[in-house]
Amino acid sequence: MRALRIALALVVGLAISSWCSAQPPQPAKTARAGDGAASAQPSAQDVATLLQRITDLEDRVVSLEGQLRQMKAQGAQPVAPTAPTPQPEAAAAPQPSAAPTVVTAAPEPRLGGAGAAASKALNPDISMIGDFIAGAGHNPINPTPSFQMHESELGVQAIVDPYARADFFLSFGETGVTLEEGFLTFTALPAGFVAKGGKMRAAFGKVNTLHNHVLPWVDRPLVTQNLVGGEDGIDDAGVSVQHIIPAPKNWFLEFTGQGFRGDSADVFTASAKDDLSVVGHLRAYKDLTDNNNIDLGASYSRGHSLFDTDLIRHQFGSDFITHLYGVDAMYRWKPLRRSIYRSFVARSEFIWRQQDQPSLIACLSITCPSNTAAGFQRAFGFYTSADYQFARRWFFGGRVDSSDRAFNSRLNDKGGSLVLTYWPSEFAQLRGQYRLTRYAENFDAHELFIQLQFALGAHGAHPF
Amino acid sequence: MRARLRWLFSLVALCTTVLIPATAEAKKLNVITSLTDLASLTQEVGGDKVEVEALAKGYQDPHFVEPKPSFLLKLRHADLLISVGLDLEIGWLPPLITQSGNSKIQPGAPGYLDASQFAEILEIPQGKLTRAEGDVHPLGNPHYWLDPDNGRRIAKGITAKLSELDPENAGLYQQRERDFEKRLAETELKWAAQMAPYRGRKVVSYHRSWPNFAKHFGLDVVGYIEPRPGIPPTPSHTIELVNLMKREGIKIELIEPYFDLKTPNSIASMTGGKVVQMMPSVGGKPEITDYFKLFDYDIGILMQAFQETK
């Protein structure tokens, strides 16, 4: 960059000096001005012309700098000049002297292959998000350690080619690694379709789609724990297609259809290759004003339950399918003029889970979750939460939880949480959460969590 | 059972395919810009041959725009998306582009234009960069449109892009661009004359939004109310700044409309200075309807502030 600046400064200097001394081919007007006696005294018009030339040259310097930045960004591959071609009047005089200087200055020695800078330029965006949680309180049903480096999420994201981009999120626990998500998104499909293939969090409701670090709480709601596979959720390998549906009155309507292998925590189990699961999600969104909006969703998912093994199917003579239904609603308020200081978000999700279960003899041949009941189970759960940002770095919120247990819907857990979040900067977050859970076993768990989250590198923004 | 599964799959497939929109080829070029300033410049050169709309509002902090799905409704039919670039919109524009389902505006496609390539970029960090310096922009300061010279260069760049996408009207775009350039040059003389008495004056600003403006009009921004870009004011930094302002006799604080005025006001009361709420973008006030009025407004309130704090 510096070399280029020097070269271009030279160009400007040369152009001006050559124009002043020799007065080479010039517009007729300036030549006529020099015809008079006082050729040493430049007229106002001369000055104007000179100024115009300097401006044009400046423009060309800026344009070349821009092209250089573009080239650097694109891995030093020469790009087609997108900058406008110089105006004819600018090109006339300075061109002869300018051209050779630029040509000699521009190419840098290339010692085989792309330079180090070029290879770095094509590196994907890499980010690491740490999630450290300290917990206090007694909870024998869902115990948490006193300190844990809960998750270290490595994100590797880049545009693959003109047709697709790829996003990988590897979730490192303290001892093991899981691929949280790793998928390719086809961005250049015809007719407005967006398709994905790989492993991804399913578009079932809101919380299931969110990574830990964008949740407004330390934990996930009870309904997620009990009915939608807990922290891992419905997260499976498969394909996804989404499309915006034209809708009147500025409503945004989008349908997402997904098909997965059928393995997701305790929700779905694929014991055969065609035990696939499906997810359908319809989203409706509308800006009520510039400052507030509503976001509604309906989801359905279906797949084989863990009871659906050949052995048990053979014994009981029927398939064991899990159906999940969900509706979600969100209201957001954010005054645009003070968007970094104040905001309010209220959200709620209602989820129903239905599954048929064999008699408890089945639990002799497979591992059943504790308290499994026999027969048809219809479990319901919900959470409602609200968060208010009362200063640039401070958020306060609460959540109410209630959920039946999926494998024994007569058991119901309830809970509530208060959350206070502080952001030292955009890249770090300190959060405290007090959680009371009243378990179906008639036990109250009072717990306090302190969470520290911090981000390194360029983590691509998540969808709204 | 298998039949039911197949049925479900086909339902999903059907739902997604029957809903293909009727993509009526609009006569006008549909241009979406991230910020209002780029929209104004596009309107100047595109005239009635283009339909231009900006995503963010002029009074909004351009770093923290929410990627609302309603923006997707605008992006999915866009022929051209013009962004400020230099990572200004990194928190919100990339997911919108990915989800838009519009192949024309994907990065690298002909309908994606990063306007920063045409402009003079200041404050490009040299050497090793860390976030200890706050929310720094590794590619340089993205508030570059606040220099009318850059406005002219961007307009030229947009003209070239419009001519490429719509060759039939290329002549018209070029003619409009020359006209814009002429009007801008004339108005620039007026602005230069208005600001001439205040050249070399020292000021402070809240965020690093004004280096290009300051360079063009000869102001010297010597301090910032934010201790680091994106980090809210701290008491110790504020005291340092107050001392600096007293020492150097600085009276003017340039504040973007989306920042809280509490700290700037208390600084003003301690230093006898003045808070000048400058508008960084077209549409920041209802009367700032285009790129010319943006400078008219900012220069107007700045002159008034300089006169009042003489």
Strand residues in A187-289 grouped as ranges (E): 194-201, 235-245, 252-260, 277-287
pLDDT given at position A68: 85
A358 has pLDDT over 80: yes
What is the C-alpha separation between B225 and B244, in angstroms, rounded?
11
Sequence-ordered list of residues with C-beta below 8 angstroms from that of B307, at least 6 positions apart, any chain: none
Asked if B302 and B196 touch (Cβ cutoff 8 Å), the reply is: no
Query: Tokens in use for B233?
Result: 């004011």
With CB atoms and an 8 Å threshold, state whether A246 touches B134: no
Largest separation between any pair of C-alpha atoms in chain B: 85
Question: Packing angle between helix A2-22 and helix A95-105, nearest 10 degrees?
Answer: 160
With CB atoms and an 8 Å threshold, state whether A244 touches B15: no
With CB atoms and an 8 Å threshold, state whether A62 touches B153: yes
With CB atoms and an 8 Å threshold, state whether B21 touches A246: yes
Helix (H, G, I), strand (E, B) or coil at A229: coil
What is the overall mean pLDDT for chain A? Answer: 83
Asked if B30 and B80 touch (Cβ cutoff 8 Å), the reply is: yes
Question: Packing angle between helix B291-308 and helix B36-46, nearest 10 degrees?
Answer: 130
Phi/psi for A190 (5° steps) reads -70, 165
Which residues on adjacent β-strands are paired with residue A164?
Answer: A161, A186
- pLDDT tens for B88-113 read 999 899 999 999 999 999 998 999 99
Strand residues in chain B grouped as ranges (E): 29-33, 50-54, 80-83, 112-114, 202-205, 220-224, 252-255, 274-277
Among candidate residues A202, A211, A208, the one with its CA nearest the CA of residue A221 = A208
Helix (H, G, I), strand (E, B) or coil at A111: coil
What is the C-alpha separation between A113 and A133, in angstroms, rounded?
46
- pLDDT tens for B46-77 read 999 999 999 999 999 999 999 999 999 999 99
Query: Tokens in use for B34?
Result: 């991230």
How far is CA B149 from each of CA A58, B9, B119, B170, B216, rounded to the nearest angstrom?
A: 10, 57, 8, 22, 8
| CB-nearest partner of B257 from A55, A337, A461 | A337
Which residues on adjacent β-strands are paired with residue A419?
Answer: A397, A433
What is the C-alpha separation between B245 and B236, in angstroms, rounded?
14
Q: What average pLDDT does this structure show over A231-244?
A: 95
Q: What DSSP string runs through A409-448?
A: EEEEEEEEEEEEEEEEETTEEEEEEEEEEEETTTEEEEEE
B9 — pLDDT class (breaks 50, 70, 90): low
pLDDT given at position B237: 94
With CB atoms and an 8 Å threshold, state whether A66 touches B118: yes
B24 — pLDDT class (breaks 50, 70, 90): very low
- pLDDT tens for A36-81 read 444 567 788 888 888 888 888 888 888 888 888 887 776 544 444 4
Chain A segment 431-450 residues within 8 A of B by beta carbon are none
B43 has pLDDT over 90: yes
Task: Please tell me the distance in Å from B303's CA to the nearest CA on chain A.
Answer: 25
First to last CA, chain B: 85
DSSP B300: H
Asked if A4 and A64 touch (Cβ cutoff 8 Å), the reply is: yes
Sequence-ordered list of residues with C-beta below 8 angstroms from that of A404, at least 6 positions apart, any chain: A226, A227, A379, A380, A381, A410, A411, A412, A413
Please state whether beta strands A443-457 and A428-439 pair in parallel, antiparallel, or not at all (unpaired): antiparallel
What is the C-alpha separation between A257 and A238, in angstroms, rounded?
11
pLDDT given at position B173: 96
- pLDDT tens for B194-227 read 999 999 999 999 999 999 999 999 999 999 999 9
A103 has pLDDT over 50: no
Sequence-ordered list of residues with C-beta below 8 angstroms from that of B74, at least 6 positions apart, any chain: B32, B53, B55
How big is chain A by its Cα radius of gyration, in Å?
32
Looking at CATH, the fold of the domain delimited by A124-457 is given as Porin (2.40.160)
Which helix (H) or strand (E) segment holds residue B288: the answer is: none
All structural domains of chain B, each given as residue ranges with its CATH number in brackets, are 29-121+131-189 (3.40.50.1980), 197-308 (3.40.50.1980)
Q: What average pLDDT does this structure show over B129-149?
A: 88
Residue of B nearest to A456 (CA): B131
- The ipTM estimated for the assembled molecules is 0.84
Q: How far is CA A186 from the centre of its chain?
A: 15
Q: Where are the domains of chain A?
A: 2-108, 124-457
With CB atoms and an 8 Å threshold, state whether A243 touches B19: yes
Query: Tokens in use for A407?
Result: 């494998």
With CB atoms and an 8 Å threshold, state whether A66 touches B116: yes
List chain B residues with CB under 8 Å of A336. Answer: 57, 59-60, 258
Lowest mean pLDDT among A101-115, A245-259, A286-300, B128-142: A101-115
Task: Please tell me the distance in Å from B92's CA to the nearest CA on chain A.
Answer: 6
Asked if B119 and B150 touch (Cβ cutoff 8 Å), the reply is: yes
* Length of chain A in terms of residues written: 464
Which residues on adjacent β-strands are paired with residue B19?
Answer: none
Asked if B52 and B43 touch (Cβ cutoff 8 Å), the reply is: yes
C-alpha atoms less than 13 angstroms from C-alpha of A180 in its C-beta half-sphere: 23
Chain A segment 78-117 residues within 8 A of B by beta carbon are 82-85
Q: How many helices (H) and strands (E) does chain A have?
A: 8, 16
B13 has pLDDT over 80: no
**Which of A337, A390, A427 has the most B C-beta neighbours within 10 Å, making it the best mutation to test the interface with B?**
A337
Q: At CA B101, angle to CA B98 and CA B107, rounded to 5?
A: 45
Q: How many helices (H) and strands (E) does chain B have?
A: 10, 8
What is the C-alpha separation between B279 and B254, in angstroms, rounded?
9
Phi/psi for B136 (5° steps) reads -80, 150
Please state whether beta strands A428-439 and A408-425 pair in parallel, antiparallel, or not at all (unpaired): antiparallel
Sequence-ordered list of residues with C-beta below 8 angstroms from that of B202, at least 6 positions apart, any chain: B219, B220, B221, B222, B248, B249, B250
**Which of A184, A302, A425, A462 has the most B C-beta neighbours within 10 Å, making it the best mutation to test the interface with B?**
A425
Residue of A nearest to B16 (CA): A243
Q: What DSSP string runs through A125-161?
A: EEEEEEEEEEEEE--SSS---SEEEEEEEEEEEEEEE
With CB atoms and an 8 Å threshold, state whether B98 touches A1: no
Sequence-ordered list of residues with C-beta below 8 angstroms from that of A431, at least 6 positions apart, any chain: A217, A218, A419, A420, A421, A422, A449, A450, A451, A452, A453
Query: Tokens in use for B297?
Result: 């407004």
Asked if A424 and A393 touch (Cβ cutoff 8 Å), the reply is: yes
pLDDT given at position A462: 72
Task: Please tell me the distance in Å from A422's CA to the nearest CA on chain B.
Answer: 13
Residue of A nearest to B95 (CA): A463
Query: Tokens in use for A403?
Result: 């959920």
- pLDDT tens for B151-170 read 999 999 999 999 999 999 99
pTM for the model: 0.81
Query: Tokens in use for B244?
Result: 């600096």
B191 has pLDDT over 80: yes
- Type of residue numbered B155: A
Task: Please tell me the distance in Å from B247's CA to the nearest CA on chain A.
Answer: 30
DSSP A187: -
Please state whether beta strands A177-186 and B29-33 pair in parallel, antiparallel, or not at all (unpaired): unpaired
Among candidate residues A326, A294, A115, A307, the one with its CA nearest the CA of residue A202 = A326
Q: What average pLDDT does this structure show over B36-42?
A: 96
C-alpha atoms less than 13 angstroms from C-alpha of A310 in its C-beta half-sphere: 4
- Identify the residue with better confidence: B26 or A164: A164
**Which of B45, B80, B98, B262 has the most A C-beta neighbours within 10 Å, making it the best mutation to test the interface with A?**
B98
A31 has pLDDT over 80: no
C-alpha atoms less than 13 angstroms from C-alpha of A390 in its C-beta half-sphere: 8
What is the C-alpha separation between B297 and B83, in angstroms, rounded?
24
- Identify the residue with better confidence: B180 or B18: B180
Asked if B74 and B80 touch (Cβ cutoff 8 Å), the reply is: no
What is the C-alpha separation between A458 and A328, in angstroms, rounded?
30
Task: Give me the torsion for CA of B79, B85, B91, B92, rounded to 10°.
Answer: -20
Sequence-ordered list of residues with C-beta below 8 angstroms from that of B51, at least 6 positions apart, any chain: B26, B28, B29, B30, B31
Query: Tokens in use for A359?
Result: 């008699």
Q: At CA A337, angle to CA B80 and CA A384, rounded to 5?
A: 95
How far is CA B298 from each of CA A37, A152, A267, A316, B146, rounded to the nearest angstrom?
A: 46, 46, 59, 79, 10
Phi/psi for B202 (5° steps) reads -90, 140
| CB-nearest partner of B1 from A192, A319, A392 | A319
A32 — pLDDT class (breaks 50, 70, 90): very low
| CB-nearest partner of B76 from A185, A244, A425 | A244
